[in-house]
């Protein structure tokens, strides 16, 4: 697989419960054998995990599930991991679908024509060690009709080719995120590709509170600034774009 050339260790499985769980299990069994930017990929997950304890559907052959073992060197780099993953996916999807509207819904969903084509789940497994899981839909999934997939737009996507594009796009941004000028560059890129900015949004905060306002900015920590009665910086939330 060409994808194997783009990471420091690569393991592929036809089917696993969850690539995040599988990578975590292998890493904890033998941490030294998993260098920074190692990956596990699978064509099917039987118990894929989403954010906030939700599940993530990955039927056989219909999506890419990949998880990367990352050892970010700074707090800032760690904070930006999910955002750079969203940017990398959006970059790949927009290069494959140049006619479609593609962007990042903060913090880390990638939408094509308003529908979700990708989800990202970062999990801190021990201090300084993160498993960054990315799911990208290649073909329509029977049990998940309201999402988008590359095949919806006439492509016949090849697992390894799309994964290789994704790993290359992610690696460049991961390296950049280790540099302070790189983070500024990534913030500009996100401002250009974030569908949430300028929208009226409803945000559900982790403590259950709700906030409605205009999303005005993403700050240097990757937080979304919402102008409600006053400006509020969100580091984690579920966000809905409200139509006016
Ligand atoms: C979400 O949108 O809620 C996040 C979904 C994350 C799915 C990916 S697929 C690869 C990795 N393995 C998992 O079990 N989850 C992530």
What does the pLDDT read at residue 183?
93
Q: Running along the chain, 244 residues long, what does each successive block of 10 average in pLDDT?
A: 97 97 98 98 95 85 96 94 97 98 94 95 96 96 80 95 98 94 94 95 91 94 93 90 76
Number of C-beta neighbours around residue 16 at 10 A: 25
What does the pLDDT read at residue 145?
67
What does the pLDDT read at residue 223?
93
Q: Is the CB of 133 under 6 A from ligand 1?
A: yes
Q: Report how far ligand 1's centroid is from the alpha carbon of 91 (Å).
A: 19
Mutate to test the pocket of ligand 1, among 11, 21, 50, 109 (most ligand atoms within 8 A of CB): 50
Q: pTM of this prediction?
A: 0.94
Q: Report residue 38 CA to chain centroid gap.
A: 16
Q: Report how far ligand 1's centroid is from the alpha carbon of 119 (Å).
A: 6
51-67 core/surface letters (b: 16 or more CB in 10 A; e: else) = beeeebbbbeebbbbbb
Mutate to test the pocket of ligand 1, among 48, 105, 170 (most ligand atoms within 8 A of CB): 48
What does the pLDDT read at residue 146?
78
Residue of the CA atom closest to atom 9 of ligand 1: 135
What does the pLDDT read at residue 51?
86
Q: Report how far ligand 1's centroid is from the alpha carbon of 20 (Å).
A: 8
Best CA proximity match to 165, nearest among 100, 108, 94, 67:
94
177 neighbors 191 (Cβ within 8 angstroms):
no
pLDDT tens digit sequence for 86-129: 999 999 999 999 999 999 999 989 999 999 999 999 999 999 99
What does the pLDDT read at residue 144?
66
Q: Report how far ligand 1's centroid is from the alpha carbon of 56 (Å).
A: 6
């Amino acid at each position: 697989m060409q994808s194997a050339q783009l990471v420091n260790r690569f393991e592929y499985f036809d089917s696993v419960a969850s690539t995040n769980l599988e990578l975590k299990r292998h890493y904890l069994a033998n941490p030294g054998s998993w260098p920074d930017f190692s990956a596990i990929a699978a064509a099917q997950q039987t118990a894929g995990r989403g954010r906030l304890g939700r599940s993530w559907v990955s039927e056989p052959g219909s999506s890419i599930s990949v998880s990367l073992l990352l050892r970010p060197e700074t707090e800032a780099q760690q904070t930006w991991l999910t955002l750079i993953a969203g940017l990398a996916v959006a970059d790949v999807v927009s290069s494959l679908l140049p006619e479609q509207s593609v962007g990042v819904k903060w913090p880390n969903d990638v939408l094509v024509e308003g529908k979700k084509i990708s989800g990202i789940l970062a999990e801190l497994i021990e201090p300084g060690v993160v498993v960054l899981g990315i799911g990208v839909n290649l073909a329509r999934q029977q049990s998940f009709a309201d999402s988008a997939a590359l095949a919806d737009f006439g492509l016949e996507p090849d697992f390894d080719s799309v994964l290789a594009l994704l790993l290359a796009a992610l690696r460049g941004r991961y390296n950049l995120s280790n540099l302070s000028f790189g983070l500024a560059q990534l913030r500009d890129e996100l401002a250009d590709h974030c569908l949430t900015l300028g929208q009226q949004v409803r945000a559900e905060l982790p403590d259950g509170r709700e906030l409605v306002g205009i999303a005005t900015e993403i700050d240097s920590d990757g937080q979304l600034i919402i102008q409600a009665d006053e400006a509020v910086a969100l580091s984690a939330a579920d966000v809905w774009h409200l139509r006016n």
